[in-house]
Structure 1
């Protein structure tokens, strides 16, 4: 019997090839889009899930009160790991990890490679259960000159030879012995690295850490508990831990599940309020909506053909077929279409994944070997087939054979009403997606076009590696002499990044209970000239002023000047860390961290040789290529051991918008696909409506109706439905997009014209889709349609 169902269903599919192609095409696009979106969602939901003890692994977060709110960050004092292990029951092990200054040049047999690294305590590799191919977690980081490398790095350094025991040189000075080789770090892991070296080496390279107390936060601390039941007690003990060791420090530490770090990393007033998870949920909804739109198409087109298949149902019932058998027949038909569409959809998805990865800079892969994925795909095809075919099956099987065979049957109002509701649903979603796309695009453009306070164009940045930190002034002077740059300056960190701050700034008139967090960016000579930051008052650090090089002067930004409200800013004395500084200049606010937030107060002292970054203003009278080539040659002369790496500041700044760009592109791509699928359904419905009204069109044309009148007649009903969809989509769009925009401190207004434009685009798309069939029907020869009468 099942074989007969399949044969009959296949004959019906072939008989109505055009209808079946539209149905299968819509389902294919819907299922492919849904699967690709769900693969993207799975990529993020499975971040860090490769670790065995993930449910018992926690990262220590730090709540710091000040300025009327609570700042939350993952940096902790170095002492926190030891104290947590000693003072809190239920702790299995703790470990500190940091990437600060860990990256380095690894050399073996005169072959050098610049790689990313971590400093970590020995327990780090066992807490996160990295899989060792050589060596073991218990001993790999116990010696101060040890190094753990990834499988790919081992292949790069030693080809296919033995890695264990080999001696590498880091930064041309530190000999390290390979004590472990681990599997490559998955792309969806929070901590990315090529090698791990001992924490003791970090302390040896950074002498300031020896005197760092509980008020110095720079380490990331991992904690492994015996079980989740220990969490509440651990957080109670940790709440007052910092204050117990330093009475002047009110910071509060707490454990945050490492499994949530990627998805729930946004904190407000000490509490997690979401993060990447909101984007993940958005794409889950979008995946469901696209699949629903595709299923709606199937329902619409199937019920639209009800009169055509009514006689088939009537004959079947007359010769004894039960309603159950007829329902099974129609469900089988939709299942065949669904599974065929799914096969094509999987093939399309496999072809699309590589360019998708390249564009969005991720590393998704099709789970060929994961049986659960295949079960899900088969289940999705079955659900899509059942949902798509269920209403048509139940509707068509309800026809009364006597009325059908007497020719008294006409498509019921119920089916027509359902089709109308489904069309409204489809195009309501289309209006929302178009509105969201326009709104996201305008928000990104608004922030990108907002003045950032410095000139990021034609400026490059170089990290001071090897000998360059001691010869940065020589390097800048040499490039000026060669004409590659017009100016250069040293910085304590990248101009486009933040992360160094302090509470310890005092000034005359400061309230005793006033606690303000200041950003720190120490600079060299020619800071404003190089970066394009505007000097509002006083001067910048200048060669020839002994006070500048002695480190007793300071520059501040305009937010700091307004905050301090000094009678005479330039020349005033303030204290930082108990040390007096004289303010010599005030510069205009400029964006360093998030472009979506207000510029915080900032201070700058002088930094010369020994800086972390060098910023250079390229000579505009020469080509960028010529300037960069000269910089590369000079780098090789001054710092020959390190491969030249030059970063363009505008490119680095553009990375701040990556998350919004991904959101915009995915909304554009899959929103567009949802509209295409909706139009496929509308095209099919319009074709069928024109076919059903062929004789009416012929009579009207004979009686003098014009082509435009007939096209308007056939298009009117569909445009009414699209108009209703627009009206219903407006409040939903306003509510949801206003809520999204409120996440940003600086954002555009949700103007009326955005929604009007989205509605207009939807009407134009629908009109073009429907009018093609309407004009085609109106141009048909009426003699052919009336000949049979």
Structure 2
């Protein structure tokens, strides 16, 4: 207790330095906690399911274009085959997402939400918390539905929803057979209701009749025990080829627990994914906390001469080195405790803003004992790490030298202090460079030509009565002056996903496999989307060849791969049937803007579309055009609330991952600089105090304010320049490796590093100069009157 009383007196005695020390530690701890909460959120994806170690999702490897493509889509028939033919399998379940949004209605109220089709075994495999109903029976009935707590409350209020009937898409009657707790934000399945698999088969005849060559659903396998994995996976790998001759497909079991973090595949093997970002932010969290600890070490050892006499006297009257170490460690732990209390308050205040900034829902487990145990551990660890070197260094002073006034700060201490400052600012330079690089890469991809005009292009999901009235809507919207053209699409212009190996062309080698994107489009496709028609013509509902699906349009890449010298008029085969190329369009980005454009074939959709794309009238106000379209939609499709998606906004969502990376690098890079500058400010303050008399003499002898400011700033700026020299090559190497993940990427040039260096120098200069100018402007009479 005596140690803590003495420590508290020393802390109060040096209030300014104590505030800087505790403030730096508090910022470091808060930054560390925020980053670790983000890491914890992603690390615990799907961990709420028990027995997850025995649950696997099937991945599908297919060869073509000299590569192996890996995707989650599998044939629907593979689940049943696995359940009956593979030993050690406990159960299988098929899942099909319904993310286009379905209308769920009760009486007069209707809500559009995303749903999921699944086999009855789904709830036995994934143990959702049921508020009402039985997991084993919830999806057993053909016309049943399971709701989340929020959706049930929105539809039924306080009434018991069990057994009540709701309508799906204003047609299908469904009985509520279960209510589950709201879905956590860190789970793969983010849906508001669940439907039995039988419904999608009844609604889509092609799904009911789909065989081994149609990959469209996800398949999950639960084993009885991990020991069955090798044998089960070996059988499953041969299953697709065994049931479909000449088809080069290979399904394999991938641990469901790793799906979120290890979703990136190259050449048929998992090579990373979100785990790379998690590692980066874990390292960032540790480094920021270390920067704060370095501040503490620097400031504590900088005041060594001031505390030297205290150490000398205590040793002279019998204090052991062990007791002195305990004394200094006590001070460090007390400051660390204050810093942690401050950081918890800051965390509580900042977390809602942090969530809004990133569009995420992080929450600290305030009520869990392990969270507080972790905080205590961080507090002790920070206190020990930051206080260890000062404690051992200060306690090593020899009392005879100290009391004679012969103590001089050792070169080793100065060298270590300089090294710590260099490390601090080297890390800050790296974070600034990384932030600039991320934003340049995002800007480069964002500004890269997409091949279509996304500004003024609006997409409307085709549902309900709109499915048979798309031509009517386009005509009325044109007459109202809201749009200038419209076309039907099989899926969004911003989302890829439909492709096939089933095209043949003259000169194609028997062993050549090329995966080709397929998009079905309607009339006025090029006029509506702004995609350029290079040669030939586009589809027309008045042309019998188009409506009979015997014509196609291809993109530039497809024409090059097929080596068609005169593409228009060429005849190729689609699924064994001849089709004629009537046009060639310019390549456009369909899917990821980071990948090369794939070969594409367009076919005519006629009146069968899932998305309606319209081009807004540029001569009209956007708000009025949207209002008119909503009025027309309500008149044609009264059961459905109007939904309009602006393509430019949807396209921006493709950069969310990189934006998050850039925001976090920017935010915590800035905090790292602030923490480093706090330490630099403290060191500059102490350096000015030590040289007070020197500054007074120099001023009396005629030194200018500028000269004294330069004198005091020079040493610190030299350290910052050294940190830049060290950080630049390391940044060049690491950012170069990061950019290799993108097929379209910027090149690293010298301006990036010069700009980062200048920012660091300016910030450091402002920090040091404030104290330097203050010292230079001080009255020399006050500093010399004691002489």
* TM-score for both structures, normalised by structure 1: 0.99
Aligned to 1:297: 295
Q: Distance in 2 between matches of 1:16 and 1:759?
A: 34
Q: Distance in 1 between matches of 2:753 and 2:775?
A: 33
Aligned to 2:434: 436
Aligned to 2:240: 242
Q: Distance in 1 between matches of 2:701 and 2:75?
A: 90
**Number of residues paired by the alignment?**
787
Could you tell me which of 57, 62, 74 is aligned with 1:59?
57
Gapped regions of structure 2 (runs ≥ 5): none
Deviation of 1:544 after TM superposition, in Å, equals: 2.5
The answer to whether structure 1 residue 500 and structure 2 residue 498 are counterparts is yes
Q: Distance in 2 between matches of 1:324 and 1:650?
A: 66
The answer to whether structure 1 residue 338 and structure 2 residue 336 are counterparts is yes
Q: Distance in 1 between matches of 2:715 and 2:543?
A: 81
Stretch of structure 1 that moved more, 129-138 or 666-675: 129-138
Counterpart contact for 1:103–1:118, Cα < 8 Å = no
The DSSP-based 3-state class of the residue aligned with 2:509 is: coil
Q: Distance in 2 between matches of 1:355 and 1:618?
A: 35
| Structure 1 segment 473-492 matched on structure 2, within 5 A | 473-492=471-490
Counterpart contact for 1:53–1:129, Cα < 8 Å = no
Deviation of 1:414 after TM superposition, in Å, equals: 2.1
Q: Distance in 1 between matches of 2:80 and 2:63?
A: 24
| Structure 1 segment 558-707 matched on structure 2, within 5 A | 558-707=556-705
Q: Distance in 1 between matches of 2:323 and 2:652?
A: 61
Could you tell me which of 191, 196, 199 is aligned with 2:197?
199
Counterpart contact for 1:171–1:466, Cα < 8 Å = yes
Aligned to 2:257: 259
Q: Distance in 2 between matches of 1:94 and 1:103?
A: 26
Counterpart contact for 1:102–1:118, Cα < 8 Å = no
Stretch of structure 1 that moved more, 420-429 or 544-553: 544-553
Deviation of 1:210 after TM superposition, in Å, equals: 2.8
Q: Distance in 2 between matches of 1:412 and 1:139?
A: 77
Counterpart contact for 2:100–2:461, Cα < 8 Å = no
Deviation of 1:334 after TM superposition, in Å, equals: 0.9
Counterpart contact for 2:98–2:114, Cα < 8 Å = no
Q: Distance in 2 between matches of 1:101 and 1:33?
A: 35
Could you tell me which of 275, 278, 292 is aligned with 1:277?
275
Aligned to 1:126: 124
Deviations 1:83-120 (A, max 9, x none): 11112111100000001477311111211111110000
Q: Distance in 2 between matches of 1:563 and 1:165?
A: 57
| Structure 1 segment 130-529 matched on structure 2, within 5 A | 130-529=128-527
| Structure 1 segment 107-122 matched on structure 2, within 5 A | 107-122=105-120
Deviation of 1:452 after TM superposition, in Å, equals: 0.5
Aligned to 1:13: 11
Deviation of 1:412 after TM superposition, in Å, equals: 2.0
Aligned to 2:78: 80
Deviation of 1:772 after TM superposition, in Å, equals: 1.2
Aligned to 1:711: 709
Deviations 1:688-714 (A, max 9, x none): 001001111111111221111111111
- CA RMSD across the alignment: 1.0
Q: Distance in 2 between matches of 1:438 and 1:102?
A: 36
Could you tell me which of 533, 540, 564 is aligned with 2:538?
540
The DSSP-based 3-state class of the residue aligned with 1:363 is: coil
Stretch of structure 1 that moved more, 100-109 or 632-641: 100-109
Q: Distance in 2 between matches of 1:358 and 1:201?
A: 38
Deviation of 1:566 after TM superposition, in Å, equals: 1.7
Could you tell me which of 90, 93, 96 is aligned with 1:92?
90
Q: Distance in 2 between matches of 1:218 and 1:543?
A: 29
Counterpart contact for 2:61–2:69, Cα < 8 Å = yes
Counterpart contact for 1:133–1:181, Cα < 8 Å = yes
Deviations 1:608-652 (A, max 9, x none): 222000001001111100000001000000000000011000000
Q: Distance in 2 between matches of 1:471 and 1:783?
A: 91
Q: Distance in 2 between matches of 1:731 and 1:618?
A: 49
* TM-score for both structures, normalised by structure 2: 0.99
Aligned to 2:38: 40
Deviation of 1:149 after TM superposition, in Å, equals: 0.8
Q: Distance in 1 between matches of 2:207 and 2:771?
A: 76
Could you tell me which of 774, 777, 781 is aligned with 1:779?
777
Q: Distance in 1 between matches of 2:347 and 2:574?
A: 57
Deviation of 1:233 after TM superposition, in Å, equals: 1.1
The DSSP-based 3-state class of the residue aligned with 1:615 is: strand
Q: Distance in 2 between matches of 1:139 and 1:287?
A: 46
The DSSP-based 3-state class of the residue aligned with 2:414 is: helix
| Structure 1 segment 750-769 matched on structure 2, within 5 A | 750-769=748-767
Deviation of 1:550 after TM superposition, in Å, equals: 2.2
Stretch of structure 1 that moved more, 682-691 or 772-781: 772-781
The answer to whether structure 1 residue 724 and structure 2 residue 722 are counterparts is yes
Q: Distance in 2 between matches of 1:473 and 1:549?
A: 15
Q: Distance in 1 between matches of 2:74 and 2:437?
A: 39
Q: Distance in 2 between matches of 1:370 and 1:518?
A: 51
The DSSP-based 3-state class of the residue aligned with 1:583 is: strand
Stretch of structure 1 that moved more, 641-650 or 99-108: 99-108
The DSSP-based 3-state class of the residue aligned with 1:368 is: coil
